[in-house]
Amino acid sequence: MVDPIQLGLSDGVTRHTAIGIGMWLGAIMWFNIWFVIWPNRKKALGIVEADDDTKAASARTAMLFSRTNTLLSIPMLYALVVAQNLY
């Protein structure tokens, strides 16, 4: 489990490098959801009290990070599939 997290640099196995890239991208996406997108969505939807300017800024921030996660999902899936099928 440690070798993929280190991107295969400790043992030189290319499968660990590919899986590690996928794992790190997944971890970044997880962080975006729980610590950026969800708190901003709660403000934008009115679940948490916020003024109108804050709601607008929170909605934009959540949208941009959601788009970032969508863009990161493609290379993440590619890295995980490559590790399974090409090595």
- The domain containing residue 54 runs over which residues? 2-85
- Predicted structure pTM score: 0.87
Under-50 pLDDT residues of the chain:
none
**Alpha helices per DSSP H over the chain:** 2-5, 14-32, 38-45, 52-85
d(CA 70, CA 65) in angstroms, rounded, equals 9
Q: Give the per-residue pLDDT at 14.
A: 82
Q: How many domains does the chain have?
A: 1
What is the pLDDT at residue 74?
96
For residue 1, give the nearest of 25, 23, 27 by alpha carbon.
23
Hey, what are 78's tokens? 């590619």
Residue 87 confidence (pLDDT):
61
